[in-house]
Amino acid sequence: FLHVYHHCGMVVAAWICVKYYPGGHGTFIGLINTFVHSIMYTYYLLSSMKINMKSWKKHITQLQMIQFFIVALHITQLFWTDCEYPKWTAFVLIPQNVFLLLLFAEFYYYAYVKPTNSATSTELKGNSVSFDPNDKVKIT
């Protein structure tokens, strides 16, 4: 849900910004998003070259959460500055970024913070995990 919702929302928001409101606040959002995606795609490149980048995953998610916070904070400027960028966009983009921040925080919690009582993932400290029919965990 997080991935699909995020990218569908980005397509709609990007189209509206480019079509009706080029420049201004939308430029900052695009700039910070490009920075974050450059780091993400560097991670994907290095991972595809079989370079161990697992420690980056947690930090990339943290970076994405920081991005949504900064963007929401940046958009609040529309309430106290006298620029020509439409203020209604703040009423759409601030809740959108807060919602994305919460979705990413939930993902972060379940992926990196919450302790697992049973081995339900495919990896456990770098080892592969499989299950036998008697629900016994077998680490190889």
Active site residue 74: no
Query: Is the per-residue pLDDT at 90 higher than 60?
Result: yes
Among 68-72, 84-88, 103-107, 127-131, the range scoring the smallest mean pLDDT is 127-131
Q: 0.95 cut: is pTM over it?
A: no
Comparing 114 with 120, which gets the higher pLDDT?
Answer: 114
Among 79, 101, 81, 100, CA closest to 90: 79
> Which residue in the list 6, 25, 37, 74 is annotated as catalytic?
6
Average pLDDT over residues 109-127: 65
Chain mean pLDDT for the chain: 82
Q: Which long-range contacts (CB under 8 A, 24 or more apart) does 27-34 make?
A: 28/71, 28/74, 29/71, 29/74, 29/93, 32/67, 32/70, 32/71, 33/67
Q: Based on C-alpha coordinates, what's the Rg of the chain?
A: 19
Give the angle 17-22-28 at the CA atoms, nearest 5°: 80
d(CA 32, CA 118): 38
pLDDT of residue 135: 46
Q: How far apart are CA 120 and CA 27, in angstroms?
A: 42
Which region among 71-75, 96-100, 101-105, 113-117 has the lowest average model confidence (pLDDT)?
113-117
